[in-house]
Amino acid sequence: MTDASTDTDADHEWHLVAARAADDKIATDTIVIDVGDVISITDYFVITSGSNTRQVRAIVEAVEEEITRLYGPKPIRIEGLDSAAWVLMDFGAFVVHVFSSEVREYYELERLWGDRPRVPWQVTSA
């Protein structure tokens, strides 16, 4: 893990908690990408989108609230919340990108990291 991680991070897969929290707010096309082997500043990207700025903000709030509720790490910084077109939540060991649908389509961030492994995050029932 990165230097920004803590013992708490090692015990939980916070990037998966973030993906599930976004999904609970009806986020679309949520993916988790393992970038730890190629980026030294973080291990995972969580990429998701909302259909409008209100939903983008709701997703950001849900991610932060769920991780806080489970005593997880606080974000080091959150950028882009004013416009809510692309909000970046930096938790150190993982970064959550919450896009509006149009901005996500324009930047195609997941295409840029297309050669990196995707991490399954959805809970499967047995």
C-alpha torsion sign, points 126, 34, 55, 8: positive
Can you give the pLDDT of all 126 residues of the chain as single tens digits?
444 444 444 446 999 999 999 999 999 999 999 999 999 999 999 999 999 999 999 999 999 999 999 999 999 999 999 999 999 999 999 999 999 999 999 999 999 999 999 999 987 655
Domain of residue 52: give its range: 7-112
123 within some domain: no
The structural domain count of the chain equals: 1
106 within some domain: yes
Please tell me the predicted confidence (pLDDT) of residue 2: 43
Q: What is the pTM of this model?
A: 0.88
19 within some domain: yes
125 within some domain: no
2 within some domain: no
Q: At what angle do helices 14-24 and 53-69 cross, to 10 degrees?
A: 140
**Pairwise CA distance, residues 97 & 91, whole Å:** 11
